Amino acid sequence: METTTLSATTLLVKMAEMTVVKSTEKNPIRLKTTLGSCVGLILSDAKAGVHGLAHIMLPNQTGRDEVVGKYADTAIPALLDELKRKGCRKENVEAFLVGGARMFESGAGIGDIGKRNVEETTRILGELGIPIVFDDAGGTAGRTIVFDGTTREVSVKTLKKLSYTKRS
C-alpha cells in the first residue's frame, strides 16, 4: 500500500501585510513571518479551518497612511472581517500573539514600541471578546514564526541577538 505525503504550502507574510487562508488536510497551508518589535497576530477558527496572520508594525494608525495591515487598530478588525468572508464565525475565533520585542535601547519612545504593540493588540482583542490562547511576546530578541493551519501548531524560533566589536 502506498502512502502519499502532502507537502504544506508556506505563505510568507511581510511587514504590514495580512493574509487569510483556508487550510485543509488536502490543501495544507502554513503562514510564516519574522518579527522584531512588530506583532504577529494569528486569528484562527479551527471549526471552519480559516486562519489569518497580520504583521503589525505600530499600535495606532496616524495621519493618512492607508496601509491597513500596518496598525493594530486597523489590522485586527480588517483581519476579522476577511476571516468572516471566508466562512469563520467570530465566536470560534482564537488568537495567537507573538513578537513585540524590545529591539532598541533608547528611552520611552521607539524603545518601547514592541511593548506598545502588544498592549494595543491585547486591548483590541479584549474589546472584541477574542481569547488569546498562545502568547510569546516581549523579550529582547526577534522571532520567526510558522503557523500550521491544519494542526494549529505554532513554531517559534527565537533569533540570536548579534553584537559587534569595533576593530582597531
What pLDDT sits at residue 113? 94
On whether residue 81 sits in a domain, the answer given is yes
10-14, 61-65, 86-90, 103-107: segment of lowest average pLDDT = 103-107
What pLDDT sits at residue 3? 38
CB-based burial label for 109 (10 Å; 0-12, 13-18, 19+) = exposed
Percent residues over pLDDT 90 in the chain: 79
For residue range 90-138, what is the model confidence (pLDDT) as tens digits? 999 999 999 999 987 765 556 689 999 999 999 999 999 999 999 999 9
CA distance 50 to 96: 14
Specify which residues 95 forms β-bridges with.
43, 132
On whether residue 78 sits in a domain, the answer given is yes
Active site residue 38: yes
CB 18 within 8 A of CB 53: yes
On whether residue 105 sits in a domain, the answer given is yes
What pLDDT sits at residue 2? 42
Range of the domain at 61: 16-156
On whether residue 166 sits in a domain, the answer given is no
On whether residue 162 sits in a domain, the answer given is no
- For residue 68, give the CATH number of its domain: 3.30.1330.200
Q: Record the pTM.
A: 0.90
Q: Which amino acid is at 33?
A: T
State the chain's mean pLDDT as an integer: 91
On whether residue 66 sits in a domain, the answer given is yes
What pLDDT sits at residue 6? 54
Domain count, the chain: 1
What pLDDT sits at residue 100? 96
What pLDDT sits at residue 164? 66
Please identify which of the residues 21, 29, 31, 38 carries the catalytic annotation.
Answer: 38
Strand 132-137, strand 93-99: pairing: parallel
CA 101 to centroid of chain Cα atoms: 13
What pLDDT sits at residue 168? 67
On whether residue 69 sits in a domain, the answer given is yes
On whether residue 164 sits in a domain, the answer given is no
CB 57 within 8 A of CB 16: yes
CA distance 152 to 129: 20
Helix, strand, coil % in the chain, rounded to nearest 5:
25, 35, 45
Which position has the higher pLDDT, 146 or 104?
146
